[in-house]
Structure 1
Amino acid sequence: MSPAGRAANRPGARSTRGRPVRGRQRRPDRRWLLLLGMAAVTLVVLVLYFTPLLGVRSVRVAGIDAVPEGVVLDTAGIEPGAPMLQVDAAEVRTRLGAVPEIADTEVDLEWPSTVLLRVTERTPVAFLPADGPGDSGVRLIDSAGVPFRTVPRPPPGLTLLRLGEDRAEGVRTAMLALTSLPPELRAQVTEVRAERPQDLHLGLTGGRSVHWGESAGSARKAAILPPLLTREGEVYDVTSPDLPTVA
């Protein structure tokens, strides 16, 4: 008997005769799995972008006081049922920026179906007489120097701007000086006179006045003015910040 036969007949030896031989299991191609996953994601995005499945159901407005809510909603122009992914936040902000009383807007998507408009209204810090044909009352101006609303009379605590012919430049330079002051000192300024944009005068409470000069160097002038006002006097000259005077 051959050695192979003797080995097969030994007690305890296992025979492989008639038993299937296991081959390597074939694994799914990962490229196909990746393609299927990408196709599924694309399909979901297309459904959400082009169908009202996740459409706008409500638009909420926050932060308004003077601007009517209807004006904000109409100007924003967000159509009910429009897919949430098609809401263009930059375009909505641009449209609302055309409303004079609105300084800025944030557009938040609150999934699954609400758009929140966070509106920042302009805050008046000064005013000047309205100058349009047939206009009466005063124009309110915010800290950026933007005239944004005409009202019959100014709210208390605002600064009157008395300007010359170049009103636009006068507003710009006057607001540079006014907004450079610390809040506690700004509250004492009752008027800013600028017959010429580069020759500003500030009227303060108590009959005092400040000869400010040009708007250049406003930060330095605003820094030296508070200690200068502790001295007795009526006219405080900071046109040259290196040589301020009191008279």
Structure 2
Amino acid sequence: MLLSAVGVVTALFGLIAVAVFSPILSLRTVVVDGTNRIDPAEIQAAVEIYTGTPLALLDFDAITEELSVFPLIRSYVTEIVPPDTLLVHVVEREPIGSVQVDGVFRLVDPAGITIQESAENIEGVPVISVGGADTSSPAFAAVTEVLLSLPADVGGQVVSATATTKDDVSFVLSGVGQRVVWGSASDSARKAALLARLISLTDAGRAGEFDVSAPSNGIFRPS
């Protein structure tokens, strides 16, 4: 009886070993999704060096190291699809604006990571100026927090944003260049709602300045 049980266990482990090491369950196909700025073929090539490795024995630490050379990858998730496929779901870094350094415009994400560089102003994102400080400064963090708090329709109008400290954020809207005095990033949700209300009540063609630095008492000052 004991020998019979041992035999069953041995056979079971044998079957598991065959399944794990079988070439049928080895990596043959890498599928990448979620990319926009990154060429998915480059990610595939980086992972395909493990082609032929049994899926159960893939070294995901090594794959992480291979993908670390892509600065535009913010995060990713892998998914094994038997019998031979590995899916790589990529989340790319999203730009928040551009900063000018030594005459070069750097498209950056909210963490200050450079996504791309250009000799020309990058359209579609605001130019961020933080008084000569870098993207690790409190001023930059405050600007990004404010920009992220804006409704999409308002955020899409921002052409430039500035701050010299974390408490004096301001930005300029497209059109006639209406300026917004924001102050610190605190109470940004209330300030964003107040700004949207003021914009709806103000002629878009009227130059001036919105001041929402006191979220309970916003004002528009014509110029």
TM over 0.5: yes
May I ask how many residue pairs the two structures share in their alignment? 214
Kindly provide the CA deviation profile for residues 95-118 of structure 1, in whole angstroms up to 9, marking residues without a partner as x.
424421112222121211122222
Match of 2:199 in 1: 229
Shift of 1:177: 0.2
The amino acid that maps onto 1:119 is V
Match of 1:81 among 49, 52, 72: 52
Match of 2:143 in 1: 174
The amino acid that maps onto 2:57 is Q
Kindly provide the CA deviation profile for residues 119-143 of structure 1, in whole angstroms up to 9, marking residues without a partner as x.
2322323111134xxxx53111235
Match of 2:189 among 197, 207, 219: 219
Distance 2:180 2:4 in 1: 77
Q: In structure 1, list runs of 5 or more residues that go unmatched.
A: 1-28
Match of 2:109 in 1: 142
Give the 3 Å change call, closer, same or farther, for CA 166–155 of structure 1 in structure 2.
closer
Q: In structure 2, list runs of 5 or more residues that go unmatched.
A: none
Shift of 1:164: 1.6
Match of 2:85 in 1: 114
SS at match of 2:86: strand
SS at match of 1:229: helix
Q: Is 1:184 aligned with 2:153?
A: yes
Shift of 1:75: 3.9
Distance 2:189 2:61 in 1: 34
The 8 Å contact of residues 24 and 84 in structure 2, kept in 1 or not, is answered as no
1 or 2 for the larger relative contact order (CA 8 Å, sep ≥6)?
A: 2
Distance 1:76 1:139 in 2: 29
The TM-score with structure 1 as length reference comes to 0.74
My pick for the range that moved more, 146-155 or 101-110, is: 146-155
Give the 3 Å change call, closer, same or farther, for CA 194–66 of structure 1 in structure 2.
same
RMSD over equivalenced CA pairs, Å: 2.7
The TM-score with structure 2 as length reference comes to 0.81
SS at match of 1:228: helix
